[in-house]
């Protein structure tokens, strides 16, 4: 455990002390409580948000990058395979060395890029995300080995924190229990940009990692907390798909509540999940079936109700 980790964790367990900060070697200050990979040749789609802030999409994953005169902060570095292309894209924007990485959650499509970009960086996550990236896990029927030590989170926030030393303050807040038990969101206050990882999948039924603390029922609560916590005019960057507005988030929450309600009502009648899937209780919600199917979604709801 590094000295930095120790201090952050100590703060995490107690109250956040205003103005408390931690000095890192790079001059960065952190304070607070603390599928399938695309081909390596994937082309970066770069959405410039401001003079020092951009969203880079490689394959199906959105990576957010904030850079100063020499140091770079990255949220969700994506796949290992696209790590070199991500590094090139960051260089092309004028960014230097990646000094800070923030993981919205543990899934490999968001974190494996740390094998390429993580060496020497402060890698920040929630505590569950750090735990799951530090030992072997199962995900969607596949083994996911632990990340090598250099690529693992080395600092954790239990609830919230902020990072200074870049062109704008970066606020981090943990909202666990929706997509996974370790989800966090990252807010670039000056730019009004909110990065939410996989809490919401744009315009489609979500994947919920029930085996790692995710729940469709908690997901609706998490989305409401996010709506209540940030300004109504923020631009929202999900891990996959188009940018969203707060109105989109509200509509998404309504979809979750309605579909979870239908499946729970059918379960309460004593019907089996298989029967609910067969009789297609979500047939009116077909348009949300893009990546994950209605039956997948019914399965996630059923699995979390049983827990």
- Residues in contact with Zn ion by CB under 5 A are 107, 198
| Nearest to Zn ion of 107, 144 (CB atom) | 107
Q: DSSP characters for 60-97?
A: TEEEEEEE-SSEEEEE----STTHHHHHHHHHHHT--E
Strands (E), 142-255: 142-144, 155-156, 160-164, 170-174, 184-188, 193-197, 235-238
Q: How far apart are CA 3 and CA 22, in angstroms?
A: 10
Decide: helix, strand or coil at residue 219: helix
CB of 105 to Zn ion, least distance (A): 5
| Nearest to Zn ion of 31, 111 (CB atom) | 111
CB of 199 to Zn ion, least distance (A): 9
| Nearest to Zn ion of 240, 253 (CB atom) | 240
| Nearest to Zn ion of 99, 144 (CB atom) | 144
- Give one word for 104, left, alpha or beta, with left for phi > 0 and alpha for psi -120 to 50: alpha
CB of 167 to Zn ion, least distance (A): 28
Decide: helix, strand or coil at residue 3: helix
CB of 109 to Zn ion, least distance (A): 7
CB of 103 to Zn ion, least distance (A): 10
| Nearest to Zn ion of 5, 105 (CB atom) | 105
């Amino acid at each position: 455990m590094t000295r930095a980790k120790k201090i952050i964790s100590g703060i995490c367990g107690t109250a956040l002390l205003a103005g408390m900060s931690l000095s890192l070697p790079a001059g960065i200050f952190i304070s607070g409580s603390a599928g399938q990979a695309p081909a390596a040749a994937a082309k970066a789609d770069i959405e410039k948000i401001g003079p020092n802030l951009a969203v880079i999409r490689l394959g199906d994953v959105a990576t957010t990058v904030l850079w100063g005169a020499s140091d770079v902060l990255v949220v969700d570095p994506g796949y290992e395979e696209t790590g070199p292309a991500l590094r090139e894209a960051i260089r092309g924007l004028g960014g230097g060395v990646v000094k800070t990485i923030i993981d919205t959650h543990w899934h490999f499509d968001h974190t494996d890029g740390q094998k390429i970009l993580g060496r020497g960086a402060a890698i920040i996550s929630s505590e569950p995300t750090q735990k799951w990236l530090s030992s072997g896990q199962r995900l969607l029927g596949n083994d996911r080995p632990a990340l090598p030590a250099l690529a693992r989170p080395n600092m954790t926030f239990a609830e919230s924190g902020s990072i200074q030393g870049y062109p704008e303050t970066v606020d981090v807040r943990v909202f666990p229990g929706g997509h996974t038990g370790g989800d966090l969101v990252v807010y670039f206050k000056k730019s009004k940009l909110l990065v939410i990882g996989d809490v919401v999948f744009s315009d489609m039924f979500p994947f919920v990692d029930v085996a790692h603390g995710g729940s469709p029922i908690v997901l609706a609560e998490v989305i409401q907390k996010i709506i209540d916590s940030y300004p109504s005019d923020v631009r929202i960057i999900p891990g996959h798909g188009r940018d969203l507005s707060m109105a989109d988030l509200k509509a998404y929450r309504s979809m979750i509540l309605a579909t979870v309600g239908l499946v729970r009502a059918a379960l309460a009648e004593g019907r089996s999940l298989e029967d609910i899937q067969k009789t297609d209780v979500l047939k009116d919600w077909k348009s949300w079936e893009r990546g994950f199917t209605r039956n997948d979604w019914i399965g996630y709801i059923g699995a979390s109700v049983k827990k």
